Chain A
Amino acid sequence: MTASFAEVIGSEVAIAGIGATAFTKASGVSEWRLAVEAVGAALADAGIDPSQVDGLVTYSMETNPEIAVAQALGFGELKFFSRIHYGGGAACATIQQAALAVACGLAKVVVCYRAFNERSGMRLGSGVMADSAPPTTESLRYSWTAPYGLKTPASWAALFAQRYLHVYGATTEAFGRVAVSARRWAATNPKAHFHGRPITLSDHQASRWIAEPLRLLDVCQETDGAQAIVVTSTAFARDLAHGPVIVRAAAQGSAPQQFAMTSFYRDDLTGQPETGVVGRQLWVQSGLRPADIDVAILYDHFSPLVLMQLEELGFCGRGEAPGFVQDGHLDAGGSLPTNTHGGQLGEAYLHGMNGIAEAVRQLRGTAVNQIADASRVLVTGGSGPPTSGLILARAD
Chain B
Amino acid sequence: MSFTVIHAGRSPAFPQPYPVGLVVLEEGTRLVAELVGVPHEQVRIGMALQVEFLDCGEDFTLPVFRPAEAA
Contact = CB atoms under 8 A, between A and B. Distances in A.
A145 B6 CA distance: 13
Q: Which of B1, B3, B6, B14 has the most chain A CB atoms closer than 10 A to its own CB? A: B6
B17 A151 contact: no
B7 A209 contact: yes
Contact of B13 (A129, A149, A162): A149
A127 interface: yes
B2 interface: yes
A104 to B, nearest CB: 43
Interface in A254-306: 264-265, 269
Given A144-B31, A148-B33, A155 B3 contact: no
B68 interface: no
A150 B45 CA distance: 18
B45 A209 contact: no
Interface string A145-158: 10111111011001
Contacts of A148: 20, 32-34, 62, 64
A151 to B, nearest CB: 6
Q: Which of A148, A155, A159, A269 has the most chain B CB atoms closer than 10 A to its own CB? A: A148
B17 A160 contact: no
A211 interface: yes
A150 B32 contact: yes
B9 interface: yes
A163 interface: yes
A41 to B, nearest CB: 34
Interface residues of B, number: 25
Nearest to B43: A212
A272 to B, nearest CB: 15
A166 B45 CA distance: 8
A208 interface: yes
A159 B3 CA distance: 6
Contacts of B45: 162-163, 166
A210 B7 contact: yes
B4 interface: yes
B49 interface: no
A239 to B, nearest CB: 50
Contacts of A150: 4, 6, 20, 32
Interface of A: 126-127, 129, 144-145, 147-152, 154-155, 158-160, 162-163, 166, 208-214, 264-265, 269
Given A209-B17, A210-B8, A214-B4, 10 more contacts: A145-B32, A148-B32, A149-B18, A149-B34, A151-B9, A152-B8, A166-B45, A210-B7, A212-B7, A213-B4
Interface of B: 1-11, 13-14, 17-18, 20, 22, 30-34, 45, 62, 64
24 contacts: A126-B10, A144-B31, A148-B34, A149-B9, A149-B18, A150-B20, A152-B10, A155-B4, A155-B20, A158-B6, A162-B2, A162-B4, A162-B45, A163-B2, A163-B22, A209-B5, A211-B8, A212-B6, A213-B4, A264-B1, A264-B30, A264-B32, A265-B30, A269-B22
